[in-house]
A and B are shown apart, each in its own frame.
Chain A
C-alpha cells in the first residue's frame, strides 16, 4: 500500500492549486493524478505518485548521485590500491 512510483507528466489541467491534475505515464499505463502538492511540477517532469497524489518532483541532477558516488569511490580505491602496490615495490 505504501508503494509510491515514478511517472512522467504528459499533460496538466485545472488552474487553482487544489484542482491541478496531471495525466501521468507509468511505463505505458496512464493515470489521472492530483498535482495539488507539487505546484512546481511541469509537463515532462517525473513525479513520485502515491495513492493518486504526486508527492515530489524528481530532481534530475540528484538522480545521478548514486552513480557518481560509486564512480568516485571506485576511483579512490584504485588510487589507494595503486599506492599499496608502490609501497610493496
Chain B
C-alpha cells in the first residue's frame, strides 16, 4: 500500500542503520513515547539494527495502559447498569479492573459494544432513545478531536441520552514528568507523529530547551523510526537540543488548527492520574462546564473509591522506562495477553504485550 510499503523497504532500513552506526560514538538512551512506535520497533526488529550502545526505552504512550484503575472500575460499574449501552474501543474491554473487566460484564449480559469511532456511539444513542449510551473516551491528543466532535454533535442535535466517560491524557506533561524525575535516564525523545499531527510541536520547544533534550517528531514505519533515531543521535553527538520534525508528510509545526479549535471548545486541561505512574498536574483533558451534562461521571454519580493495584505487576516501572517487561517475574507465566495482570499486557501497543508477541523466546534465552 502507498505510504506504507515504501517505508518498510529492507535495503533502505539497512542504509539508515549503517548511517546511525557511523555517527554513534557514545552510549545514548532514547525514549519513543508512543506505543504504536514501540509495537513497530519490536515487530520489525528496529532495535536489533542499532548499535549496542543505543538503548531504546519504551514510553508511556499507550492510552489503554495509562488509564487509571479507578476509571476502569467506574466503566465497569456504569456498564453493569441495565439501562446503559456502554460503547468503547475494543482494546479497553480486557483491561483488568479491580475485580473484573468489561468483557466479563458483557459475558454476564451487560450491553457492552465495541465501536470504531465515537460517532458510531452517537448514532447508537439516536437509535436507542430509551437507553443511556455512554462512550469510554480514552486516548491522547490524537483521539481528542474525534471525541470532541462526538460531544459537539450530540449537543448540536439535542441528543440527551449520550455521555462520555472521559480519561484523556496529554503527552507534553508526561515528558516533563519523566524528565524531572530523579531516576530519569532518557537523553532524547522520539515524539509521537500522530499526536503532533493534531497538536503541532510548538509545545515541545520549551521542554527541549529547559531540559536540554533533543525531541524528534517521528512517524510509525520502520524507516521513519530509523530516521528519527538518526536525527536524535546526531543532535546528541553534536550537543544540540532542538525539536526536529522527521514526519513532515503529516506533521506541520502548528498542527491541525480546526481540530485544536474543537478540542478547546469542548475540553479543558485538568490534572490526571496515570496508571502505574501516579498523578501528573495538568496532564489531561476533561469536559468544559458548558458540556458538563455530557459527563458520565456526573450523570451516573459513580463513587470514587480507593483502589489497589496488583502487587506483582511492575508496569509502572515499565511505563517509565526503568524496567523492561521481561524483568517482571510474572511476564509470560502468570501474565500473558490471554490472562493479563497489568494493562501493559493488554493492548498490542503496550510494551509487555509487544515483548510477549515478538520477543518471548529471545528474552527467555537472554
Kindly state whether residue B170 has any CB partner on chain A within 8 Å: no
Residues of A within 8 A of B262 (CB): 37
Residues of A within 8 A of B251 (CB): 56
Question: A59–B249 contact, CB under 8 A?
Answer: yes
Give Cα distance in the complex from A55 to B223, angstroms.
Answer: 21
Question: A52–B256 contact, CB under 8 A?
Answer: no
Question: B256–A55 contact, CB under 8 A?
Answer: yes
Kindly state whether residue B19 has any CB partner on chain A within 8 Å: yes
Question: B349–A1 contact, CB under 8 A?
Answer: yes
For A55, give its contact among B4, B64, B198 (CB under 8 Å): B198
Residues of B within 8 A of A74 (CB): 15
Kindly state whether residue A51 has any CB partner on chain B within 8 Å: yes
Question: B91–A52 contact, CB under 8 A?
Answer: no
Give chain B's interface secondary structure class.
helix
Stretch at the interface among B74-82, B96-104, B136-144, B297-305: B136-144
Question: B139–A1 contact, CB under 8 A?
Answer: yes
Residues of B within 8 A of A26 (CB): 1
Closest B residue to A73 using CB positions: B19
Give Cα distance in the complex from A84 to B6, angstroms.
Answer: 33
Residues of A within 8 A of B256 (CB): 37-38, 55-56
For B143, give its contact among A2, A34, A38 (CB under 8 Å): A2
Question: A63–B116 contact, CB under 8 A?
Answer: no
Kindly state whether residue B227 has any CB partner on chain A within 8 Å: yes
Q: How many A-B residue pairs have CB under 8 A?
A: 122
**Residues of chain B in range 144-170 having any CB-CB distance to chain A below 8 Å:** 145-146, 149, 153
Question: A55–B194 contact, CB under 8 A?
Answer: yes
Give Cα distance in the complex from A74 to B7, angstroms.
Answer: 18
Question: B349–A2 contact, CB under 8 A?
Answer: yes
Residues of A within 8 A of B15 (CB): 70, 74
Residues of A within 8 A of B276 (CB): none
Stretch at the interface among B117-125, B281-289, B308-316: B117-125
Kindly state whether residue B2 has any CB partner on chain A within 8 Å: yes
Question: B145–A55 contact, CB under 8 A?
Answer: yes
**Residues of chain B in range 85-131 having any CB-CB distance to chain A below 8 Å:** 89-92, 116-120
Question: B89–A56 contact, CB under 8 A?
Answer: no
Residues of B within 8 A of A51 (CB): 89, 116-118, 139, 143, 146
Closest A residue to B35 using CB positions: A2
Residues of A within 8 A of B146 (CB): 34, 50-53
For A58, give its contact among B12, B119, B249 (CB under 8 Å): B249
Question: A65–B142 contact, CB under 8 A?
Answer: no
Kindly state whether residue B332 has any CB partner on chain A within 8 Å: no
Q: A58-B249, A77-B22 are in contact. Are A66 and B139 (CB under 8 A)?
A: no
Closest B residue to A74 using CB positions: B15
Give Cα distance in the complex from A37 to B263, angstroms.
Answer: 11
Give Cα distance in the complex from A62 to B147, angstroms.
Answer: 29
Give Cα distance in the complex from A12 to B224, angstroms.
Answer: 30
**Residues of chain B in range 1-19 having any CB-CB distance to chain A below 8 Å:** 1-4, 6-7, 12, 15-16, 19
User: 14 pairs across A/B with beta carbons < 8 Å?
Assistant: A1-B91, A1-B349, A2-B34, A2-B139, A3-B349, A4-B197, A6-B1, A39-B258, A48-B250, A51-B117, A52-B116, A58-B3, A63-B3, A65-B249
11 extra A-B contacts, CB within 8 A, seeds A6-B1, A70-B16: A18-B149, A27-B4, A34-B119, A52-B118, A53-B146, A55-B259, A56-B252, A56-B256, A63-B249, A65-B248, A65-B249
